[in-house]
Structure 1
Amino acid sequence: MTPDDIHFRVPAVADAEAIARLHVASWREAYSAIVPASVLDAVDVADRIARWQGYLASEGVTFLAEAGGGAAGFIRAGVPDKPMVADADGHIFALYVLQRHHRRGIGRRLLALTAAEWLRRGGRALSVGVLTENRPALAFYRGAGASFAQADTYRWDGHDLPESIYVFRNLPDLARFA
């Protein structure tokens, strides 16, 4: 598969099921050694579909990457209820790419599209939270230009997981890859 086989678009509410299934599959791939198996096993796909229907009907920023005729990755960003970092006016709530599509530029392009859209909407900076034990994700965000802002804790189904908060302050640099 060549980069030409990868397509990026703004998803519609009708894409909620495909994104929800990709989301759950990505969690299980990325977090199997980090998050307790009981938590990952308890994830309800039907609940995720309903959540994604709501997300896709909202004002957030969402992009979907498709490869080989199916969903390969996605990103969702927007204004957080509570800012994670003082100077970040937006937050990346989720960015996942299925492992079989890693190292093809999909994550970088999803970030770039989001940065460009955030700038278009008048935004200045985007924060992102990453489970601290997810070393590949930490390296990805640092390589894309994010800087460490602070340590935090992410509470997932009654489990406190160490989280690192990063921030993209130079969105124009990131957006040039859109």
Structure 2
Amino acid sequence: MHFRKAELQDAKGLASVHINSWRTTYQGIVSEEYLQSLSIEEKEDKWVHILSGAHDTYVCVMGDNKIAGFVSIGKERSGEYEGELYAIYLLKEYQGRGIGEKLFELAISKLKKQGFDSMWIWVLKENPSKHFYYRYKPILVKEERLKIGNEFLQEEGLLLNLNEIEKE
């Protein structure tokens, strides 16, 4: 496996990881109807748009050239904070191998190189993988309701100080 910056030809692989990760991670949390309505083709179009401009998206590519996961970061979108973790997704079959941790640490490193001292993270409160973020001891700053499909779910806004990272 190796890690590199995502390229335009990765759009379909990113879309596949994105959709399939949602379908496994949020099963039983987000309605099945919504999860099945997600379209790899639509997500691929969004990734083509993202990858065609300036971006900070990094992929983990396996030996068979399959994208196992990715992380996307940048300036925090609301302007309240510094850096932001836009997305981090990993296919279920590659979880538990340290890939997510390496992607997350790559994100931290890249944000620090851009001069950011903190990382903003939104995570669904019911996300079974949210403990991953809490291992890095972020501060829970706020909770908000988010509409996904026809449902409202709670999400947590976490702030991670990049200069004082302590990992459990």
The answer to whether TM tops 0.5 is yes
Structure 2 contact 108–162 (Cα < 8 Å) conserved: no
TM superposition score normalised by structure 1: 0.85
Counterpart of 2:72? 76
Query: Which amino acid letter does the alignment assign opposite residue 170 of structure 1?
Result: L
SS at match of 1:150: strand
SS at match of 1:144: coil
Query: Which amino acid letter does the alignment assign opposite residue 95 of structure 2?
Result: H
Structure 1 contact 116–172 (Cα < 8 Å) conserved: no
Q: For residues 28 and 49 of structure 1, what CA distance do their matches in structure 2 show?
A: 16
Counterpart of 2:90? 97
Counterpart of 1:58? 53
Task: Tell me how many residue pairs correspond in the alignment.
Answer: 165
Q: For residues 171 and 102 of structure 1, what CA distance do their matches in structure 2 show?
A: 27
CA distances 1:32-91 after superposition (whole Å, capped 9, x unpaired): 1100011111111111001011122233321101224211111111124314xx4x3121
Between stretches 13-22 and 147-156, larger displacement belongs to: 147-156
Counterpart of 1:3? none
Correspondence list, 1:1-178, <5 A = 6-69=1-64, 70-83=66-79, 86=80, 88-135=81-128, 137-171=129-163, 173=165
SS at match of 1:145: coil
TM superposition score normalised by structure 2: 0.90
Structure 1 contact 20–45 (Cα < 8 Å) conserved: yes
Displaced runs of 4 or more, over 6 A = none
SS at match of 2:17: helix
Structure 1 contact 60–79 (Cα < 8 Å) conserved: no
Q: For residues 27 and 60 of structure 1, what CA distance do their matches in structure 2 show?
A: 22
Q: How far apart are 1:173 and its partner, in Å?
A: 4.0
RMSD over equivalenced CA pairs, Å: 1.7
SS at match of 1:19: helix
Structure 2 contact 119–161 (Cα < 8 Å) conserved: yes
Structure 1 runs not aligned, ≥5 long: 1-5
SS at match of 2:130: helix
